[in-house]
Amino acid sequence: MNMLELIDKKKRNNSLTEEEIQYMIAKYTNDEVPDYQMSSMLMAILIHGMDENETAWLTKAMVESGDVIDLTSIEGFKVDKHSTGGIGDKVSLLVAPILASLNIPIAKMSGRGLGITGGTVDKLESIDGFHVELEADEFIKQVNEHKIAIVGQSGNLTPADKKLYALRDVTGTVDSIPLIASSIMSKKIASGADGIVLDVKCGKGAFMKDLEHASELAETMIQIGESLGRKVAVVITDMNQPLGHNIGNKLEVAEAHDFLSNYKESEQGLLDVTIAISSKMYQLATGASDEASEQKVLEVLSNGAALAKFKEFITAQGGDASDVHAKTTKHEIEVKAGQDGYISLIDAELIGKASLLVGAGRLTKADVLDFDAGVKLVALTGQPIKKGDTLAVLYSNKDAVDESIRLIEEAYSIKDAKSVKNKSILKIM
């Protein structure tokens, strides 16, 4: 067996065996297969796809390329959540304390943001003193004591995925559903959870632009999970518009705190997505019905238990639980409406770019974040607006903000007639 034979087999649209996939991934991880050969294989996979077995075997080989976290010493059914990335997506900051306050252990490893999508670890690092790195024994001890810990991805988890991910990015092979699905699922399975709820974003501010492809990705990940002994559910959510009011690291922590303090006053889309994902996570862990699961989630939001757990979690990881609101920035610029009408759409991608330019996101992994920078959406879809009313506030410590202002203005679509906002929950699988 050699790599050239496997490339030839795949380019002729023949299925690879489990042994062949294990060979390919092991050799590539150990630098025994050059990038140019793996690039050819990735392009063949992009063109011809992979069947259900191949995709599961690829995921398994990627999991086995490195360490697998052993969470067996944590009591209870461990349920994890993953989002494919979105603008203003602070849902992990909400569902984790909600589930932990319901006595469901959350042992979560999260990533950093790159480009217009933010990372949960960056948001938590914006809290003064918060430690995103814990030793394995500290991590497990904290989950057993507090039912919640969120740390950065570390150690030797899925090294094959890290290499493949970087190669896909520079060879035009990112948009392959088997490759996307195996990348996501390998990390989640290596992280040790018993059950996984996946928030697949769909729309202009997401990688999957339409429901058909989002559903295909969801179905593929469910099949992978089942074949590898995990319970998996998927919630497909709208990302044509930002989630909630705030985009930016400390701004999103502040919105998460305010949500847990009084969820009934939160933006409807953020509320719908948070309740749907929390309920599905609780259902996976306990086997409760849809209705009973949602009732449990609303109960801990109403009685303050989720907010108390949020503060407890921050303190347990060394953070200052009172440091949850963004500090004043050099510039706080109100972006005004140029006409009367109704807001019909807020383009998530453009808002993400505006936030990125003022330092709330990274263009490269080496970029330093400004935790307090970002955008607050004052006016939301469906609202009536008058010329001169404030649409959004831009927070920046940079002086050059004209392009961000222009992007925010362009993001807001104002029409004469009132339009109905898209549903936040597109599909549950």
Task: List, by residue number, the catalytic residues.
Answer: 82, 161, 168, 183, 187
Structure tokens at 140: 């497990």
214 Cβ contact list (under 8 Å, min separation 6): 200, 201, 202, 206, 208, 236, 426, 427
What gap in Å lies between CA 410 and CA 39, rounded to an integer?
38
Let me know the angle formed at the C-alpha of 80 by 169 and 293, rounded to the nearest 5 degrees.
Answer: 135
Count of all residues that appear for the chain in the document? 429
